[in-house]
Amino acid sequence: MNCAKCHRLLFSPRKTAKCSICKTAFHPLCTRIKTMENFKNMTADERGKWMCDTCHQGAIDLVDLRCSSDRDSDDPTPEAVIEQLSLGSKIEMLLRKFAILDGKLDSVGHSMGFFEDQFEDMKKDLSSLRATVEEIVTESGTLHEEHQELKGTVRYLTDKLNDLDQYLLSTTLEVKGIPQRKKENLHEILKTLARKIKAPFEDRDVESVSRIRSSTKSSATDSNSSKIVIKFSNTAIRNMWLKQMKVNRNIKAKDLNINFPETEIFINERLTAANDRLFWHVRKFARQHQYKFAWTVDGRMFLRKDSSAKPIRIFDFNQLATMDAQEQLRPSTPVAAEEI
């Protein structure tokens, strides 16, 4: 319980002055008693009849009011005086409680003002954050556009580099199907092949001849899978070999050497690694979709359904995937090249 005047805690009932009218409690020091010594000197009866300052003043005012009223009226009874005092005390107590409530409302209003300020600060922070996010989104969109542009540039440069590499191979052929033997003489073997297909093969027309092994795992131990690469001095001689090979098909390795097996010999353009992978997919697509022809011309790849159909130039794997209505094509490790 707190003192009705100073609102501080009342520690002990024996040190508490309680009004006989309004029943509110006080520290003796907060009333007209003044000191604890005076409170201790009061008898129990005096303490029981003691009135707080408000009720005491109310009693005095009531008596004065009665004295100034009609002198002929009857004097109020003690019960009426007590009732009036009790009513005044209750009103005073209500007023004090209203005052306390008003203070609490002021505190609540202050708190609401504080929270309103905090809310405004949060709105400002949120607006700043939204602006930052919008800036990041804009920057991200710009970076995405730049990334797409760079991807396009890289793709363009990659294609150009591949075209340049393919141009550097414009005088080169691959011969497949001739088995590798120890101490073999590639020049003599190719001279024999040239006679079979009626193609020129002079030493002055040949810059280099070498044998390379296919990079596929299936051919790692297969001597027939290695290729003979011929680099001619000019494109015209290379094209003559390609033309004569088309005229003289079905040449077997055994036709060159009686000790060779009956493996078929193929002569093709030398392709870059990227073009070689793409052409492997082109031939696979042709087999799966019953295209009769698949060929290359200076690194460019073509498909044709049959003799009466128009040729279709293939630029990349995405084009094949679009054409593959049955989705039969899947990226896989290229195998040794073969003719359709």
End residue of a domain, out of 98, 113, 128 = 113
Is residue 151 in a domain?
Answer: no
Question: Are both 249 and 300 inside the same structural domain?
Answer: no
**What pLDDT is recorded for position 59?**
67
261 and 286 housed in the same domain: no
Note if the pTM is more than 0.85: no
Does one domain contain both 290 and 278?
yes
pLDDT of residue 22: 84
- Among 252, 270, 288, which residue terminates a domain? 270
pLDDT of residue 239: 95
**What domain range is 240 assigned to?**
171-270
Phi/psi at 152 (nearest 5 deg)? Answer: -65, -40
Pair 253, 275 in one domain: no
201: in domain: yes
Q: Which two tokens stand for residue 134?
A: 């919008």
DSSP H or E segment with residue 50: none
Q: In terms of domains, do 229 and 296 share one?
A: no
Do residue 233 and residue 287 come from a single domain?
no
pLDDT at 333: 39
329 and 266 in one domain?
no
* 10-residue averages of pLDDT along the chain (340 residues): 85 84 87 85 86 79 55 55 65 80 80 85 91 92 93 94 95 94 92 93 92 62 74 95 91 92 93 95 93 93 93 92 69 40
Distances (CA, A) of 238 to 193, 210, 296, 340: 14, 16, 14, 21
Residues 184 and 237 in one domain: yes
pLDDT (0 to 100) of residue 116: 85
Do both 215 and 258 map to the same domain?
yes
CATH code of residue 183: 3.30.70.1820
Query: What is the pLDDT at residue 338?
Result: 41
Same structural domain for residues 106 and 20? Answer: yes
How far apart, in whole angstroms, are the C-alpha atoms of residue 174 and residue 272? 12
Would you say residue 186 lies in a domain? yes
- Considering the domain boundaries, does residue 129 fall inside one? no
In-domain check, residue 124: no
How does strand 25-26 pair with strand 17-18?
antiparallel
Domain count, the chain: 3
Same domain, 209 and 279: no
CA distance 199 to 201: 7
CA–CA–CA angle 313, 276, 235 (5° rounding): 80
Rounded to 10 degrees, what is the CA torsion of 288, 292, 295, 301? -60
β-bridge mates for residue 2, sequence order: 9
- Is there a contact between 211 and 227 (Cβ–Cβ < 8 Å)? yes
Buried b / exposed e over 90-118, threshold 16 CB at 10 Å, is eebbeebeeeeeeeeeeeeeeeeeeeeee
Last residue of a domain, one of 113, 142, 161: 113
In a domain, 125, yes or no: no
The conformation of residue 9, written as its DSSP 8-state character, comes to B
Neighbours of 31 (CB within 10 A): 21
Is residue 140 situated within a structural domain? no
pLDDT score, position 340: 39
| Model pLDDT, residue 50 | 87
DSSP tag of 265: P
229 and 282 in a single domain? The answer is: no
Do residues 336 and 226 make contact, with C-beta atoms less than 8 angstroms apart? no
Structure-derived torsion over alpha carbons of residues 187, 189, 191, 197, reported in degrees to the nearest 10: -140
Q: What is the pLDDT of residue 97?
A: 81
> Does 154 reside within a domain?
no
